[in-house]
Amino acid sequence: MGKVVLVGAGPGDPELITLKAIKYLQSADVIIYDKLIPRELINYAKSSCIVKYLISHDMEVELLRKYAFDYNLVVRLKNGDPYVFGRGGNICYELSKDGIDCEIVPGVSSVNSVPAYAGIPLTFSNVSDMVTVISGVTQGGKLFDFQKIPNYGTLVVLMGSKRVEEISNGLMVKRDPSEEVAIIEKGTYPDQKVHLTNLKELHKFNLTSPSMLVLGKVVRFRQLLWKLS
């Protein structure tokens, strides 16, 4: 029985990967990756490694289980961090039912790194001492219950690019329509784009994937800090 290692690849910039992650990529018998993974990271694989592109996330656990029965070290290279909206816990739980050892190598999460690359600090003394992170669309395609979000502090919204109008309406249930919003598309990638707007105007934007929304007073610091990022 082989071991499965879920390796966090970071948010997009191939240099934002840990040394431990590289070590596993160099040792892996099988590497499974998806469309969000920079191709440069696949170059770490040894010549005998089987490199498999994951077409559907619905087949993820089944594919990992299949290779773990035949190979010693199977690496699932995942964007960001496997335990932050990466289904890492669910995957390891399912594999453990078959006695498959599952290890996590944390990655640089997009939650904090993407805003940093856009010049936006998630916290700032006397401005924001609280960060809330949500997935705009949850399992089964349902919108997040926006009644649960706080009405102050920094708010980070992931995975909402395809339903911006619905999400903006939901956010205005608890947040001020005039609140600053940063839209970050393809964060940390060479073609990263950042748009600044307010919540009531958010519905006018058509977003590409991956994208992220950052709400709160910290957004205004991009005007000062983005050149340092």
Local confidence band at 229 (pLDDT 50, 70, 90 cut-offs): very low
Domain 3-105 architecture = 3-Layer(aba) Sandwich (3.40)
C-alpha to C-alpha distance for 186 and 193, rounded to whole angstroms: 7
Please state the φ and ψ torsions of residue 223, each to the nearest 5 degrees. Answer: -60, -30
Q: Which two tokens stand for residue 136?
A: 């705009």
Question: What residue ranges do the domains of the chain occupy?
Answer: 3-105, 110-228
C-alpha to C-alpha distance for 12 and 138, rounded to whole angstroms: 22
Distance of CA 32 to the CA centre of its chain: 17
pLDDT, one tens digit per residue, over 64-110 is: 999 999 999 999 999 999 999 999 999 999 999 999 999 999 999 99
First to last CA, the chain: 44
CATH number, span 110-228: 3.30.950.10
